[in-house]
Every structure is written in C-alpha cells, then in structure tokens.
Amino acid sequence: MGSILGNRVERVEDPRFLTTGGDYVADLHFDDEAHVAYVRSPYAHAEITTIDLDEAREAPGVLAIFTAADFAGLKPIPAARPGIPEAMGQVVLASDRVRYVGQAVVAVVAETQAQAIDASELVFVDYEALPVVVDVEKSIRNDDLLFPDAGTNHVLELASPSRADFSGCEVVVDERIVNQRLSGAPMEARVGAAYWTEDGRLVHYSACQGAHPTKVLLATIFDLPADRVRVVVPDMGGGFGVKSRTYPEEAALGFYAKAVGRPVRWTETRTENFLAMPQGRGQVQYAKLGGTRDGRITAYQLDVIQDAGAYPMTGSILHGMTMRMTNGCYDIANVGFTGTSTVTNTTSITAYRGAGRPEAAVAIERMVDRFALEIGMDPAEVRRINLIPKFLEKYTTGIGTPYDVGDFPESLERALQQAGYDELRAEQQRRREAGDVKQLGIGIATYVEITSGVGGSEFGSVELQPDGSLVVRSGATPYGQGHVTTWAMIVADRTGVPIDRIRVIHGDTDQVRTGGLTVGSRSVQLGGSAIAAASTKLIDAARDRAAQLLEAAKEDVVLDDAGGVFHVAGTPARSVAWAEIAAAAVADGVELAGDHDFEAEMPTFPFGTHVAVVEVDTDTGRTELIRHIACDDAGNLLNPLIADGQVHGGIAQGVAQALMEEIVYDEDGIPKTANFADYPVISSAELPSFEIVHMSTPTWVNELGAKGVGESGTIGGIPSVYNAIIDAVSHLGVKHMTMPCSPEKVWQAIQSARVHVVS
C-alpha cells in the first residue's frame, strides 16, 4: 500500500463545521460575564479636550467606565516589530489625541452588550481638530507630524546598496503603481473574552493566529510569569494575516475583568471591524524598467512608499518583504530598491494574504508587460528571454535574496499550454480587427514568493495513548487551512495508524508546550516538519518496547508503516501492533511520545504562472474574468485537495484586489467604505471555475519537500488579472491604470486614451 501523502483526502474537520458548527469565541459563555463597548473617535486627527462620563455612568447595567488615565499602572503595549519609534507606540485608549477615525477613547463595561453600547453613546468627548494626513506621498514630506515627539512621520527606511543604472538602456518605461488598502473582512470579526481564576491566573479566549504569541503579549502587559497566563484559540472564522496580532482593545480585557471582578468579553461590530481592525496593502510604487529593443531587461528600479497607518504595526515593515522579492523570477543583475514606511491618519496596516510579496509581484509583472508593449513584443516572449533558468540549488538574485529551487520557464509553458495561448491571441486579434465592443485581454504573471520568510520554529508532538491511538499536539493555529487533516496524514504516513485514530490538539497554551504565529504560509514546512520529526522520535521509542515484546534486538526491529505493526526484519509473520505496545507501556508506567521543534535553514520559494482571460466592455468599462489558469509549484503537496482549496481562495482574493475591493478615505480621513454596502467583497458570481495545473519542484529545505501554498494564488492572481485588463484595451492606447480596475476607471482610461490620440 502506498503512502497516504500526496492523495486527495477529504478534510476530517468539515463534517463538524457543516453540521453542528464550530466552537467560536462568541459561542463560549461564562458565568456572570460582562461586556465591553468602545467609544470611538469620529475625527481622524484631533486633540481630546474634554471627556464627560457622568450621564453614561448612570445608564442601566453599567459596571465601570475606563479612560486612558485608568491604564497608568499597565505596562506599555510592546511594539509590533523592532525598530518602531517609541513615540509611535500603540495605546489601549487615546489619551491626549486621536489619530484615526475609529480609535478607541473610552471603554464601557456593562451587564449586556446592548447596555454597554447604549451607555457608550452617552459619553461626551470634545475634540479640537488637527491637520489630517491621509496621503502617504504627503506624509513622507513631514509637513504635518502625527507624532511630534518622534520628529518624523517615517517609520522604517530601506535601500539596496545602489540604484539601478539605466544609462545603457535602449528603452526605459516607468509607472506609478498603487496597491490599494484592503480589508481582511473575515467572516468572524475580532472577538475575545477573559477572566481570572481564583488562584490568580489570567485565562484569555481569542480569535487570533497564534495562542502562544498572544500569551507572551499578555504576560508582558500584565507583568505575569508565563505560567500564570493561559490562552485558548478555538475555531476561527478566517484570519488572512489581519488577526496575526492581538490588538489593544482585546488585550485589555483582562484589565477590565480584574476591575469588575467577573469575566469580560468583547465582540466588535462589522462597522468597528471596517473602521478599526488593521488593514492590508497600502503601498505606492514608482517602478522603472529598461532594456534592449530585442526584449532583454537590463535594469530595474523600484521605489516604494509604504503606508503604516496611524500606529505602526507589521505594515511598517512590509516593504522589507517587497524588497526581498524585487527581482521576481527574472535574471536582472542591475537592480535597485528604496522603501520608506510612513504614518498616516488612517487605520493601521498589518499583514494581509501575501504581506509585501504580492506588491513585489504586481510591480515587476506590470512592468514586464509595460516594457513588452513599448517594444512591440509578446509579453510571453519577453518572459521567456528573461526568466531565471531552472535551478535546484541555492540561487541568489540581483537584489541579494537566495532562492531554494525553481523552474520558472516550465511553469510558464505549462500555463500557456493549458490556456491555449496562441488561440487566445488569435481571437483577441479577430475582435480588435472587427471593433467588437467586448475586447479580450490575456494577462500573464510568472511569480515567485517567499514562505516562512520571518523564520522561527514550530512545535509538534505525537503521543501514544493507552488504546493504541495517537494524540498530536501542534503549535500552529488553523483558521481554515485544514491542519487537522494534514497533521493526521503526516502521522498516519509515518506510523501506519489510521487517521481516524489520530486526534489533533492545538490552540491551547495549557495543552501545547509552545508555538508560533500561523502566518507567511509556514505551517506545513515548519509545523508539518516538526510533526514528522516527532513521529520518528515516537517510533524510535516504541521500537524499544517492541523489541522487548518480540525478544529481539532493537536494531533488528522495523516498523511496517503500511500495516502499523513492528516486527523483526525479514520475519513479518510475528509482529506487535501499536495497541500492544501501548498496553505494555501502561503496565510499566511508561509514557511513549516524541516531540520536536523544527527550524528551517532558510525560507522556501513557491513559484508559478497564472494566465487570466478577461472580457472588457469598451462602452461601459465593465470587466468579466472568463478564465483563470493557475500553475502553482509548492513542492510536494501532502494533500492536493487542500492545496487546491488554498489556491482557489488565494486567487479569489487576488482577483478582488485587481477588480473591485478598496478601502477609501476622504481628505478629512473619514472612511467612505465602512460596511459591505460600500466595500464589495468578491463572490462566486464574479469568478469562473479556476483551471489548476499541477507542478512540483520539491525543496531541499525540509524533509517533506514542501513549500507554502496559502498565499500563492493571491500573488499570482493579482498581476495576471491586472495585466489582462490593460491588455484588453492596450490597442486603444491605454498603457496603464491603477487598481482596482473598476468599470469607471477602465472607461475613463479608454476615454483619456482616445482624447490623447485625437489631440
């Protein structure tokens, strides 16, 4: 019997989710619990002059009301990342000034959520407006400082050793590219609950992307030993990176719980989620690319301004990931990068599916197409000329990033073949010659991305139970990825124990020794590798016990992982099963287990090619994605069914950025997209069935040969659709436009090009 790995195994999590439902934080209730609601700023930038709580204190059900002054004894919230100026630190409640619409100013704790919300509306806060900075290109000039004590709006400045030299280029193109702000819009908004045990332990329930990092955060804030904090992350309704940190409004729940002497919970409304939950992207790029008229790219410079929002979080360093991936898949030695993150009077920016890597792919892939248009060459051919050839050992790019393995040309050819590229171009030409209203656009994106790019380790353990079943403990936190199925498959493959006899535990710091954040598509390559190694350790320990039962030397005993039994090599007729070993261990009072902390030598670099086919109505500007072909190489796929699901979700989010989704602020910093009526989340109605082309170039970085796949669809999806839209109308004189490519923007680009041609 072959290995279970590599097979399309249905997710064992799904029957529960589809029948009885998951166990989410909002579903868990505690005796005598109270609720918190926040009073949030209606101003983007203002001094707080007066806070009047008198009427709110008398409201029904109110237990306590808190302002920033009440947090004087609480330790400062640690910076989201090293190097963030101390003056720009996060706060639970604003004290002297507010810096974005939606910032929490007052916290009201009441018997019920409705009472807390009603009382919060009785709080009076008086503000004195200050100059508002929404535009990053204005913020970077430091004319109006958001944090005067910092002396600058800049958070982090990065640069390559030198700028690209364009002096020898025959053709040079440059464009301003915008990766607009996006909302993570998870089905489950932010939610948390906290209480204190009688012996003084803080217990915190959270919908976050890592129980142990949240435990460290809370222990720091409340100045507690680590063993005095327990964090539980039950089921989650989506994360996408925006839940990679436990934010101040939730972190303070333990403070409120201690003050009122009862459990306290917070569940934000959807409007709060749009106003205050950190958002994604927010990067303005100035890209310049040059080369020869025969298609060779010889120079590339990318200059980035990264929006950090009001309080710097992960967003303030995302341009660092963009810098690492500047080269994309291309053999360009003459390359340069600069990047500066800067604060604005908007909601903070954090990681969002891809976190700096889609931005890099958008820049280089858009410019390759722009270059191809300028020299009159097919964009597929330009890629063929410039892609890095196949490599199976470490390759270092012009910007200095080492890749593990890659075969970019092969992914391009597979995707083009599946698309029927030549036929598509012929149909496009037919429509152009006929002057059809609906024009065809074909967009290509050959991308490479970095997974597990922030390093670190992940924990896994496997324990033999008295009945012969196995318990797996993982430090990774699932929120839709199918970890339970994948971890069980790895253990089943190693041990021969069926997956229905394997239980997976995660998301509870009392039950799992340690763990990291589930971010950056790191789970299988780190968490999976840890569990594989832990399985090997358990097998080694079990072999000792099997040898005793078989009255043989340990070195002569082997595990038949197909049947899940141990026997002496060459004599399989006499064997002992896991259940027999478990019984013997119990009789001797011995626990058999293996655990492992896995840390990789370097990140891995999934890659691939996406081809998007769109129809653009030149009368209205409306775009329809009619086909999307995705060739994504994530090395060895442990479960192609789950991997395909991740790619599908990633593509959908990528298409959404290219076509429709965008957080918008007016010049006063007032959000114009504060609900689902104003912020259109993509649905199946806007998407075709995706065409998946499998390809596998295993990595040598971990024993599974696996790379990340959770964000690849987004990274390939955005630039391919973006290029397709512009390609559809390029014959009309349109060379570039900014995302999202809404019907209005596309129509305006067509009209502008026509005016330019006439004039």
Which tens digit of pLDDT belongs to each residue from 127-157?
A: 999 999 999 999 999 999 999 999 999 999 9
Residue 2, pLDDT score? 79
Q: Residues 555, 557, 563, 564: what is their CA dihedral angle, to the nearest 10 degrees?
A: -70
Domains of the chain: 25-130+187-238+243-276 (3.90.1170.50), 280-452+603-758 (3.30.365.10), 456-599 (3.30.365.10)
Q: What's the mean pLDDT in 39-51?
A: 98
- Residue 225 confidence (pLDDT) above 80: yes
What are the angstrom distances between the C-alpha of 138 and each of 130, 143, 316, 339? 16, 8, 17, 15
Residues in the chain, overall count: 759
DSSP secondary structure code for residue 315 in this structure: G
Which has the closest alpha carbon to 258: 214, 208, 205, 222?
A: 222
Residue 72, pLDDT score? 85
Average pLDDT, the chain: 96
Q: Which two tokens stand for residue 337?
A: 């990068």
Residues 6+ apart with CB under 8 A from 505: 471, 472, 473, 474, 511, 512
Residue 80, pLDDT score? 82
Q: What's the mean pLDDT in 444-462?
A: 96
Residue 76, pLDDT score? 87
Q: What's the mean pLDDT in 110-135?
A: 98
Q: Residues 250, 256, 257, 258: what is their CA dihedral angle, to the nearest 10 degrees?
A: 130
CB-based burial, 322-354: b 16+ in 10 Å, e otherwise: bbbbbbbbbbbebbbbbbbbbbbbbbbbbbbbb
Backbone angles phi, psi at 27, to 5 degrees: -85, -15
DSSP secondary structure code for residue 508 in this structure: B
Residue 73, pLDDT score? 80
Residue 1, pLDDT score? 54
Residue 54, pLDDT score? 97
The structure tokens 């320990």 sit at 541
Q: What's the mean pLDDT in 240-245?
A: 94
CB-based burial, 14-44: b 16+ in 10 Å, e otherwise: eeeeeeeeeebbbeeebeebbbbbbbbbebb
pLDDT per position as a tens digit, 258-284: 999 999 999 999 999 999 999 999 999
Cα separation, 701 vs 672, in Å, equals 45
Q: Given pLDDT bands bounded at 50, 70 and 90, which one contains residue 285?
A: very high
pLDDT per position as a tens digit, 611-656: 999 999 999 999 999 999 999 999 999 999 999 999 999 999 999 9
- Residue 758 confidence (pLDDT) above 60: no
Q: Given pLDDT bands bounded at 50, 70 and 90, which one contains residue 755?
A: confident
Cα separation, 160 vs 446, in Å, equals 24
Residue 365, pLDDT score? 98
Peptide bond into 740 cis (omega under 30): yes
Are 273 and 108 spatial neighbours (Cβ–Cβ below 8 Å)? no
Say what percent of the chain tops pLDDT 90: 96
Residue 369 CA, distance from chain mean position: 27
Cα separation, 309 vs 348, in Å, equals 4
Residue 757, pLDDT score? 59
Which has the closest alpha carbon to 103: 59, 52, 38?
A: 38
Neighbours of 223 (CB within 10 A): 10
pLDDT per position as a tens digit, 168-198: 999 999 999 999 999 999 999 999 999 999 9
Cα separation, 629 vs 351, in Å, equals 26
Cα separation, 91 vs 96, in Å, equals 11
Are 727 and 442 spatial neighbours (Cβ–Cβ below 8 Å)? yes
**What is the three-class DSSP state of 423?**
helix
Q: E strands within 280-361?
A: 280-291, 297-309, 335-343
Which has the closest alpha carbon to 406: 609, 639, 611, 649?
A: 609
Q: What's the mean pLDDT in 392-404?
A: 98
CB-based burial, 445-479: b 16+ in 10 Å, e otherwise: bbbbbbbbbbeebbbbbbbbbeebbbbbbbbbbbb
